[in-house]
């Protein structure tokens, strides 16, 4: 296990890419506690802390969800990968490797030693467009924490293509809804820089389409 806690936070962010090939080796609970505490340090709406984090180790639960996850891959994800062009910052070859890693995770999803299912307890309220603002910052904190600890992880919410079935398989009570599953384990491969496009492709000044030219120096 490699502890990267002394590294610059910007370097950690720039190398926290999705790690989808994970070894089945157990991950100590004290590392999961660090990851969870990092998640619970995140901003959330009104500091109401309606988040709920389900740690899943039971392989039978994971197998049930993996079957649903695989169905979503077969019906939705795989056809998409075969028809769209590589995104900004990716080559045809790197995008193919990404697809292969996605396929690997699909087949081995249940073998990741730890899942953290990130949820919100909505009670009797209906989830809205802004609901994710109270859970996704926590998810990102957990991904950064895992990277800092030398653990591989990724955010996936593909199970939500079949939300009702997945949440039943996870045993979530009424009013509690999942927003992401984070499979965590020791990575098979190496960490490296994320593949992204140039800032000029996405950042504009005052009006979308108007280039932002940052001052030099």
pLDDT band at 89, cuts 50/70/90? confident
C-alpha atoms less than 13 angstroms from C-alpha of 178 in its C-beta half-sphere: 29
Give CA separation, 205 vs 23, 89, 199, in Å: 44, 22, 12
pLDDT of residue 7: 63
Output the CATH code of domain 9-201.
3.40.109.10
Annotated domain spans of the chain? 9-201
C-beta neighbour count of 159 within 10 angstroms: 23
Nearest-CA neighbor of 130 among 54, 203, 46, 208? 46
Give pLDDT tens digits for 161-201.
Answer: 999 999 999 999 999 999 999 999 999 999 999 989 999 99
Provide the 8-state DSSP code for 67: H
First to last CA, the chain: 39
φ and ψ at residue 100, rounded to 5 degrees = -65, -40
Run of H or E residues at 118: strand 114-121
Mean pLDDT on 59-83: 94
Question: To the nearest whole percent, how much of the chain has pLDDT over 70?
Answer: 97
Q: Residue 28 phi/psi, 5° resolution?
A: -60, 145
The conformational region for residue 154 under phi > 0 = left, psi -120 to 50 = alpha, else beta, is beta
The whole model's pTM is what? 0.92
């Amino acid at each position: 296990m490699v502890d990267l806690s002394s590294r610059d936070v910007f370097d950690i962010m720039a190398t926290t890419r999705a790690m989808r090939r994970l070894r089945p080796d157990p991950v100590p609970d004290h590392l999961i506690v660090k990851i969870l505490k990092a998640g619970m340090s995140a901003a959330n709406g009104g500091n109401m802390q309606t988040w709920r984090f389900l740690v899943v180790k039971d392989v039978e639960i994971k197998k049930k969800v993996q079957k649903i996850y695989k169905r979503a891959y077969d019906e939705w994800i795989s056809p998409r990968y075969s028809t769209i062009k590589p995104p900004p910052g990716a080559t045809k070859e790197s995008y193919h490797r990404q697809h292969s890693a996605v396929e690997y995770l699909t087949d081995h999803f249940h073998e990741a030693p730890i899942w953290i299912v990130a949820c919100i307890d909505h009670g009797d309220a209906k989830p809205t467009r802004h609901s994710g603002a109270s859970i996704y910052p926590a998810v990102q904190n957990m991904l950064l924490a895992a990277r800092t600890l030398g653990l591989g992880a990724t955010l996936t919410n593909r199970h939500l293509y079949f939300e009702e079935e997945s949440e039943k398989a996870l045993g979530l009570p009424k009013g509690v809804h999942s927003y992401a599953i984070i499979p965590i384990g020791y990575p098979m491969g190496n960490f490296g820089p994320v593949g992204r496009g140039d800032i000029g492709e996405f950042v504009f000044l005052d009006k979308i389409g108007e280039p932002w030219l940052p001052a030099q120096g």
